[in-house]
Structure 1
Amino acid sequence: MSSADPPDGGPPVPGGQHAAGSGTVVQAGRDVLVSVHQHVHPPGRPTRLAAAQRWGDGGRARQAFLVTSAFEQKYWLAELVQRVHRTLDRAGVDLVLKLPDRDYDAAAQAHLLRRVLASGHDYVGGIVTATEVDRLRPDLTEFCHDLGLPVVFADVDPFGPAHAYPPNAAFVGYLDGDIGALAARRLVAHLAHRTRPRVLIVASREHPDRQNRCARILREEVPGVVITVVDDCAFRRSRAYEAVRVHLRDGTALDAVFCTNDEMALGAVDALRTACSPDTIVVGVDGTLEARDLIDSRTSPLTATVVQDAHRLAECVVHVLERMREHRETPQRTVLDPELYQASCRP
C-alpha cells in the first residue's frame, strides 16, 4: 500500500478536525457536503465540466452520497472517505457524507438511508458501507429498489452471491474471510515449531469472518494451539488494551495476538509493553500509517498488518459507480486481494 498522501481538500477526520486544503466542508448535523473548488487542470486531465457531462448531468454540479457504518476514531474509514472524495472530485462530482449518530448501529444507518431517499433526485448514485447486515438486509434491498439509482456497497458484502443483489447494486471490496486467512498464514509461520502455543484474537462483532477464518486455519494447521477470542472490543484501542491486560494478569504467556483492525493492534502493543511481554507478536488489519510506521521501526511487537488499500478501493468503487451510471456492463461483485505488510519485506 502506498503511503498516505497529505490531506488535499479532504473530508473531516476523526476527532472533530477537518483536513486542510482547497476545499470547503459544510457540516449540518451528521451530514457533510464535501466540495472542492478547483479550477486549474493539468494538461490531459478532463475539466470538471467535461467530467460532469460524462456522468450525464448536462454540466450541472452533481452529488454522490456516501453512507458510512461508523466514523468516530475509525481511521481507515476516514482515509477511505478522503480517497473517495478525491476520486469523485476528479469526475466533477461532489460527495455528501452521511455519518451515523451511533457507530455500527442498524437503526442509525436505516435513518440515513431514509434521508437519502428523501432527496434522491439530488444524486447521481452513491456508496454504502453497511452494518449489521443480517438485520438491515431487507432495508438495504428496499432502499436500492426505491432509490432506483446506482448503489455500490463497499467494505462489507451485504448480499453474498451476485444473484442476490438488486439490479442497481454492486459490491466492491475485500472479503473478511480472505483477510482472516492472510493473517492466519502469518501466525502459522510464527507458531510452526512451538508446543501448545497460545493465541489471543481481539475482535469486534462487525466483520466476524476475520476472526472466524483465522481461528479455523490455526486449529487446522497448528497442533495443540490454544485460542481465546474476545469479540466485544468494537475496534477500539482502549478495549483491546484492557482485553490483553486481563488475559496476561494470571501470568499466562501469549505467543501471538491477532487484532481485526490496527487501532486494536496498537492497544494490544501498549498492553504488551506495559506487561513486559517481549516475545509476543501482534498482527493487525487495515494498514494504517501509524501501524506501518511501527512495523518499520522493528522495535514493536506489531510485526505485520493485513492491508486493505483504501486508495485502490476508492478508485474501484467510483469506477464501478460510473459504469453503472452509464448503463454499461458491470460485475455485481468485485473482490480485491488484501496484502500483508511486514517488517521482513522492508530493506
Structure 2
Amino acid sequence: MKQKLFYVILIASFALSAVAHYSHMSKTLQFVLCCIAVVFAAGFMGKATESVAHYAGERIGGFLNATFGNAAELIIAIFLVKDGLYDMVKASITGSIIGNMLLVLGLSVLLGGLKFKVQKFNVMLAGYNASLMLLAVVALFIPALFAKSFTTKETDTLSLIVAVILIVAYALWLLFSMITHKEELADVAAVQAEEAHAHEINWSKGKSVLFLVIATVMVAFISEWLVGTLEEFTHKFGLSELFVGAFLIAIIGNAAEHSAAVFLALKNKIGAAVEIAIGSSLQIALFVAPVLVLVSYFMGNTMNIVFTVYELAAIGVSAVIAKSISQDGSTSWYEGVLLLVVYVILGIAFYLV
C-alpha cells in the first residue's frame, strides 16, 4: 500500500512539474514542484540502486548507490555550467561534499545508533576514506592558494591539470578497493546483514536496471526544469548563490543518499551507509568536480577549480570531523549529533553571508 502511494506521488509530482514548466507558470511554483518531484525521483533512484546493489555485491553496490545518488547533482551542475553559473556550481559541489559528510552520514549514524548501541564497519576502509578526504581538501586548497599569483590562463591550466590528476587518482582507488584489495576492504557485518534481509528485495535484476535507468532520466528532466527557476527564485527571496548552491540544491540532490544510507543504517549496515555518505563526498571531490572542469573546457569557457575561502573552510571542517568520527571503524548516535551540529552551524553561516 505504501509503495503504491509512493509511485502515485512520484508520477503525479513529475507530471505536475512538467506541466508547470511547459505552461510557463510562476518560477516560484515551478521551483517548489520541481523540488518535490526530484526528492521522490531520487528516492525511487535510491530504491533501484539498492536493488541493483543486491545483485552486484556489497562493495560495487555501495559504489553504485553513491554514483547514481550523485547523478542528480552532476546533471544539475552540467546545466548550471552550460548557463555559465560557475559560482553556483562550485557552491553546489561544496554543498554536496559537506552534505554527504555531515547531513547524510550524521542522520545515518544518529538513527542507526538509536536502534543499535554501537555499529561497526571495516577499520581499514575507514582509514583509506580518511586519507582520501584529506587528499580532496589538499587538491582544492592548492589552486586557491596560488590563484592570486597566476594569470587567468595559468589558473585555468592548473585547474585542468589538477582535474585530470584527481580523476586518475579516483580511478586507481576504484581499482585498489574493488579489485586488488577487495577482500581486505569487505564489510563482513554488512554482508551478513544483507543476507538476513535478502527477502526484502522484490525486483528482478532486469527490472532493477530498467527502473534505475527510468529514475535517472526522470531526475535529468526535473533537474533541467529546476535550474531554469533558480535565478529568479534566488533574486525574489534575496538568497545568495552560495546558500542556494551549497544547501538548497545539495539537500535536494542528496535525497537519494539520504534515503538509501539511512535505510541501510537502520538495518545495522552502517558500513554500507558510510560507504555511500563518505564515498559519495569523495566521488564529488575527486571525480564529479574534475569532470565539470573538463566539461566546461570542451564547452569553450573553462571553469577553474578555485573555491572561495568560505567554501574551502566548510569542506576542511567537514573533512576533519568526519575523519575524526569514522577513523576508528565504529559509531554511536552521539557522533551523529556532532556531525549534524556542524552542518547546522555551517548552514546558518552560509545563509547570513
Provide TM-score, normalisation by structure 2: 0.23
Q: Indicate the structure with greater strand content.
A: 1
Provide TM-score, normalisation by structure 1: 0.23
